């Protein structure tokens, strides 16, 4: 938090707009539209997960439809597929961005030609092959949902993430590049879809004086208090990306002479927001991610494992998983050999030196 957030909250208190609508909600949506491009519309919601849920409903996904989802991601990307009773099929990653591999997606459409939608995450703020994935979706008449929850501020081919799908998903959860404590947005160039999201998120109340309902609604709208935090945070989004980029550069520099360490890669035509810097250890190295995590933990420094792939999750046992080559999947390999490094923008140079020296000790 920087300070301006509180001013927007105070304004909501002073005007007594303490509700899931008001000037801050409108203002936050406008700020995001301006940021992503004037051709975009945004609906502020209570979480990114809600935004994903609504995107599937708006896309007309029904029970038993097949939906393809990233395998290597946070569970929130794909859980809403199950909320509507659709069938999730998980798609393996590539080594170039750790995101959904377009070749595996092609293969999935061969097996399930009638699949209705694809949801792709931009992992750790790194854009996926978004143009290619969008093209494959168009070819198969499938809806493309871009889960940009981790990648606000990143771009691909000079275009901001969140703009590539039929609908884009943003999150302002406590850990994201900007936060409102909790919150999310559904964004799209299609104004009708965004209006529909606002409608479904406010209990699908028809515009009649009495309480008229023709559809099942949800209580998913963002509160005007929370949106005030968002307006304040928007003023610092570019700064957050700049600081995250500095952290990434610091790690790059620090490990440049250690062949066993590679950092989470990205496509040349993309600019990640570097939400998290992650490392991967060479398969020939005896060092395991857990060794490093434990050594850092002893110094009270928190690290996180890579997201555990969805096809390995007990809750998704029995779901289909599509990979390009047989053997260990790319996602599982990254999970086994990878590690998320401390990437907080409040890290001082002293913090960074300490983290780096502990990690370097393993590779002497
Ligand atoms: C955080 C996150 C979400 C969910 O957002 P919430 O606002 O926490 O519900 C979805 N997908 C990914 C990839 C995320 O990291």
What structural domains and CATH numbers belong to the chain? 4-234 (3.40.640.10), 237-363 (3.90.1150.10)
Q: Is the pLDDT at 141 greater than 90, yes or no?
A: yes
Let me know: does 157 contact 136? Beta carbons within 8 Å: no
Question: In whole angstroms, how far apart are CA 101 and each of 120, 145, 247, 269?
Answer: 10, 15, 27, 16
117-121 and 338-340: which strand pairing?
Answer: unpaired
Q: Is the pLDDT at 364 greater than 90, yes or no?
A: no
CB of residue 71 inside a 6 A radius of ligand 1: no
User: What is the rounded distance in angstroms from the CA atom of residue 242 to the CA atom of residue 323?
Assistant: 35
Q: Is the pLDDT at 19 greater than 90, yes or no?
A: no
Position 140 scores a pLDDT of: 98
For ligand 1, mutation pick of 52, 54, 55, 76 (most atoms within 8 Å of CB): 76
If you average pLDDT over residues 158-171, what whole number do you get? 98
For ligand 1, mutation pick of 97, 122, 173 (most atoms within 8 Å of CB): 173
Q: For the chain, how big is the Rg over CA atoms in Å?
A: 21
- Which letter, b or e, does each residue of 63-73 get, where b requires 16 or more Cβ atoms within 10 Å of its Cβ? eebbbbbbbbb
CB of residue 276 inside a 6 A radius of ligand 1: no
Position 20 scores a pLDDT of: 87
Position 191 scores a pLDDT of: 98
If you average pLDDT over residues 82-102, what whole number do you get? 98
In ligand 1, which atom is closest to the CA atom of 172? 7
The two tokens of residue 169 are 């998903």
User: What is the rounded distance in angstroms from the CA atom of residue 201 to the CA atom of residue 12?
Assistant: 21
Position 356 scores a pLDDT of: 98
- Which letter, b or e, does each residue of 318-333 get, where b requires 16 or more Cβ atoms within 10 Å of its Cβ? ebbbbbbeeeebbbbb
The residue contributing the CA closest to ligand 1 atom 11 is: 77
């Amino acid at each position: 938090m920087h300070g301006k957030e509180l001013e927007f909250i105070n304004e909501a208190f002073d005007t007594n707009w303490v509700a899931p609508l008001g000037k801050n909600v409108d203002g936050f949506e406008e700020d995001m539209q301006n940021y992503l491009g004037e051709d975009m519309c945004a609906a502020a919601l209570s979480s990114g997960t809600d935004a994903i849920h609504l995107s599937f409903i708006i896309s007309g996904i029904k029970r038993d439809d097949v939906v393809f989802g990233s395998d290597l991601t946070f569970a929130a990307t794909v859980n809403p597929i199950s909320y509507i009773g659709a069938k999730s099929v998980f798609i393996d990653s590539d080594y170039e961005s750790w995101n959904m591999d377009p070749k595996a997606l092609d293969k999935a459409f061969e097996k399930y030609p009638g699949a209705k939608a694809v949801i792709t995450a931009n992992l750790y703020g790194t854009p996926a092959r978004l143009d290619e994935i969008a093209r494959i979706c168009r070819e198969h008449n499938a809806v493309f949902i871009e889960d940009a929850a981790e990648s606000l501020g990143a771009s691909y081919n000079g275009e901001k993430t969140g703009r590539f799908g039929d609908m884009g998903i943003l999150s302002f959860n406590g850990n994201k590049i900007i936060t409102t404590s909790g919150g999310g947005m559904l964004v799209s160039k299609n104004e009708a879809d965004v209006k529909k999201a606002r409608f479904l998120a406010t209990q699908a109340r028809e515009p009649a004086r009495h309480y008229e309902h023709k559809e099942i609604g949800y209580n998913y709208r963002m509160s005007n208090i929370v949106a005030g935090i968002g307006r304040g945070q928007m003023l610092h989004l570019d700064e957050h990306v700049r600081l995250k980029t500095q952290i990434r550069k610091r790690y790059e520099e620090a490990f440049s002479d250690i062949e066993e360490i590679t950092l989470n890669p990205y496509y040349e035509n993309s600019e990640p927001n570097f939400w998290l810097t992650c490392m991967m250890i060479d398969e020939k190295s005896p060092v395991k991610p857990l060794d490093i995590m434990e050594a850092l933990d002893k110094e009270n420094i928190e690290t996180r494992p890579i997201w555990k792939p969805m096809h390995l999750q007990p809750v998704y046992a029995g779901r289909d998983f599509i990979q390009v080559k047989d053997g260990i999947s790319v996602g599982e390999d990254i999970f086994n050999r990878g590690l998320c490094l401390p990437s907080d923008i409040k890290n001082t140079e002293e913090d960074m030196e300490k983290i780096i020296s502990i990690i370097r000790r393993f590779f002497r």
